[in-house]
Amino acid sequence: MAHAYILLAKVKIKMGSYFEAKMFLKRAIQSYPTYTDLYYLLGITNRRLNNRKEAVEALDSAIRLGDYTGIYITEEGSGSYLSYYELGEIYREMENNPDAIKSYIQCIKTAPPSFLKAYEKIPICYEKLEKEELITKFLEEECLCSFHMAESFITHEFYKEALMILKRIPKSALKLELEISCFIQLGLYEIAQALLEQCFKIGKKKESLILLYIYCHWSQQLSLPYEFFTELKRNKKLRWISSLLRWYHDGDNLEIPNEKIIFIVDLMLTYRFVRLSESFISKIDKEELELTYGKRLFLKGYFHRSADNFLHIMKEKKLDGEGTFYLGEMMLEKGKIDDANYLFQEAYKQDVSRARYGISYCQLYKAYQLVSKAKQNLVRNSLLLDHLNIITEELHVLEMGQWRTTWNRLERRNKER
């Protein structure tokens, strides 16, 4: 019977019926006061209802009880890392960033190695706090001195902090590559170049490292050493890089497979060589790559450049369903709901199934605006308030869904536009 309450509550939460889920969970807690999962789900439900104080109390109760090991069927982590993660999310929404970070740290300490979400959230909170004071506290926490944390800080463009974390990690090939990434982003090309030469000496001659080595020389307007060209000639797998160098210096026709071109573009965008990537694509003059390039711009976070690219292709009536969907997401982010709705409908006509969620979101958002406006004129109308709560719940369910493109909004390289 206890597990039946859990299953029923999960169904109600998934459907967005949070009031009913809360009612079931409160009734279940009266009968089974030591069942951790009930408190964990009650915390999630209250968070959805914006009852943050009640959500914190429920999650604290789940943590005090700990992961259940008795007769009940339970979800691993409901009394430890999952509850700590939810607490972190609530505190972050409340803009209580110090407590959010503390909760995420506790989550990391108690979570299995595969649970990485908390690492991604710490830099978001860190951005809004006193930097120097906080990074010192980070270094006192052993769980934060890891590759996952360094990678997360690099993703959010905190390169100096990432280097401070990397200093605490033992030497390895991965550490060296992350350090090179930080030095390149900070414009310290000579240091990056010296580290890349170390990589080559120990036999690390990956394509990505070799391209970064080329970028370091180009950034300083230096010519590449003769030994480097000798190595490229010896290695048959790297001959396509020789073609790239010939194109760059002499303007020769480029004969590189499309997948290699996309690999180069991805790397250029990752390390902010946007203008170089644009001239690269324009000089190749392969029509089929123009759309692919626009999608790579979008997925790498170059928001406005991608929009310009898609709009240009759309005028020529060559934009496919996926590109139309991405453009719809951009309009949604800009708050242009009617434009987003039109684009999602066009994408759905071209068999992009997840576009139907975009259409629903736009229509619900417009309904929310209309009901909110009506409620301002009729403050005491309880029916309108009920409608508003229902629409808000439905919007939240859609926002929490997996239909959106998995790209990090904080990675928009040209967000100043």
CB 291 within 8 A of CB 313: yes
What amino acid is encoded at 99 in this protein?
D
CB 240 within 8 A of CB 256: yes
- Rg, the chain, Cα only: 26
**Confidence at residue 274, expressed as pLDDT on a 0 to 100 scale:** 75
CB 310 within 8 A of CB 326: yes
**Confidence at residue 341, expressed as pLDDT on a 0 to 100 scale:** 93
CB 128 within 8 A of CB 147: no
d(C-alpha 310, C-alpha 321), whole Å: 11
Reduce the DSSP state of residue 165 to 3 states and report it: helix
**Confidence at residue 345, expressed as pLDDT on a 0 to 100 scale:** 94
d(C-alpha 191, C-alpha 216), whole Å: 9
385-to-20, 371, 391 alpha-carbon distances in Å: 17, 8, 10
d(C-alpha 193, C-alpha 187), whole Å: 11
Q: Within the chain, what is the greatest distance between any pair of CA atoms?
A: 80
> Tokens 């030994």 map to which residue?
227
**Confidence at residue 233, expressed as pLDDT on a 0 to 100 scale:** 74
**Confidence at residue 86, expressed as pLDDT on a 0 to 100 scale:** 94
Q: Which of 278, 279, 260, 277 is nearest to 268 (CA)?
A: 277
Reduce the DSSP state of residue 65 to 3 states and report it: helix
Helices then strands, each counted (H, E), the chain? 23, 0
d(C-alpha 128, C-alpha 124), whole Å: 7
**Confidence at residue 415, expressed as pLDDT on a 0 to 100 scale:** 39
d(C-alpha 408, C-alpha 297), whole Å: 13
Give the number of other Cβ atoms within 10 Å of residue 21's Cβ: 25
Q: For residue 59, give every residue at least 6 positions away whose Cβ sits within 8 Å of its Cβ, in sequence order, or none.
A: 39, 40, 43, 83, 86, 87, 90
Lookup: tokens for 231: 């190595």
**For the chain, which residues score pLDDT lower than 70?**
68-69, 130-143, 247-256, 271-272, 285-287, 375-382, 406-417
In the DSSP assignment, the letter for residue 142 is G
Rounded to 5 degrees, φ, ψ at 203 are 90, 5
Q: Which of 416, 410, 398, 401 is nearest to 121 (CA)?
A: 410
Lookup: tokens for 279: 């001239």
d(C-alpha 349, C-alpha 357), whole Å: 13
Give the number of other Cβ atoms within 10 Å of residue 179's Cβ: 20
Using alpha carbons only, give the angle 96, 101, 102 rounded to the nearest 5 degrees. 100
- H-assigned helices in 66-158: 81-93, 97-110, 117-126, 131-140, 147-155
Residue 46 belongs to what H/E stretch?
A: helix 36-48
